[in-house]
Amino acid sequence: MTNIGRTRYALYFGLLGAVCFIIVALLTFNRGLSGFDKSLIGHVQGLESEALTPFMKGISYIGTTVPMVVLSLLIMIFLFTVLKHRMELVLFVVAVLGTKIWNDLLKNLFERDRPVEHRLVEEVGYSFPSGHSMVAFAFYGILAFLLWRHLRTRTARTVVIVLAIAMTLLIGISRIYLGVHYPSDVLGGYLASACWLGVTIWLFQWYMERKARR
C-alpha cells in the first residue's frame, strides 16, 4: 500500500468518529441511550468497594488538568530538546490542546447536566461529552502514534497500543464509577476525540509526505 493510502486511513478514522459522535449525540438527547446508561452505570458502580474507590479516584486524577499539563510539558520538552522533532511537537500540541478546546465548545453546545445520584466526588460544569475521556483519548492516542513511528518491533508497538487503550478506558470508566458522568458522556467523548485526532494526524501525514516529495 502507498503512503497516500495509509494516510487516508487517519482521515477515514476521523470521519467515522464524527459520524458516530453525531449518532450518539442524537440518541443521547432523544433518550435513546437511557437504557444503555442505566445498565452500564449499574454494572460499573456495582463494583464499588473500599479498595477500588481510591484506585478509581487516582486514575481519574491522572486525567485532570495539572497531571495532564505536567505530562504534556515533559513530552514537549523531550520532543523539542532531545529528539528535535519540531513537527511532531506541533502535532502533539494541536492534538491535545485542540481536543480541550473542542470539548469546551461541545459542552457549551449541548449543556447536559451531570448525574446527581451516587456521586463519590464533586464536579462542576456540563456533562456531555466527558472532558476526561476526550483528553485521555487524544493524549494517549497521539502518544501511541508518535511512539509507533519510532518503534520497530511488533512487540514494542503492541505494548504501546495496549497501554494507551488501557489508560483511556480506565479513565473513562473511573468517571462512571465516581458518578460524575453517564456512559454516553464517555462514549461521546471518545468519538469526538477520535474525530479530532484522526483529522489532525491526517493533516500531519499529508504535510510530511508533501514536504518529503519536495
Quickly state the pLDDT bin for 6 (edges 50, 70, 90). Answer: low
Cα angle for residues 10, 104, 65 (degrees, 5° grid): 90
Helix, strand, or coil here: 119?
Answer: coil
pLDDT above 50 (res 87): yes
Residues of the chain with pLDDT > 90: what percent? 72
How many domains are contained in the chain? Answer: 1
Q: What is the pLDDT of residue 5?
A: 53
Residues of the chain with pLDDT > 70: what percent? 96
User: Which is more confidently placed, 70 or 152?
Assistant: 70
Q: What range defines the domain where residue 198 resides?
A: 3-213
pLDDT above 90 (res 207): no
Q: What is the pLDDT of residue 69?
A: 92
pLDDT digits (tens, 9 = 90+) for 133-166: 999 999 999 999 998 888 888 999 999 999 999 9
Could you identify the residue written with the cell 495509509? 6
Cα angle for residues 123, 126, 131 (degrees, 5° grid): 75
pLDDT digits (tens, 9 = 90+) for 54-66: 999 999 999 888 9
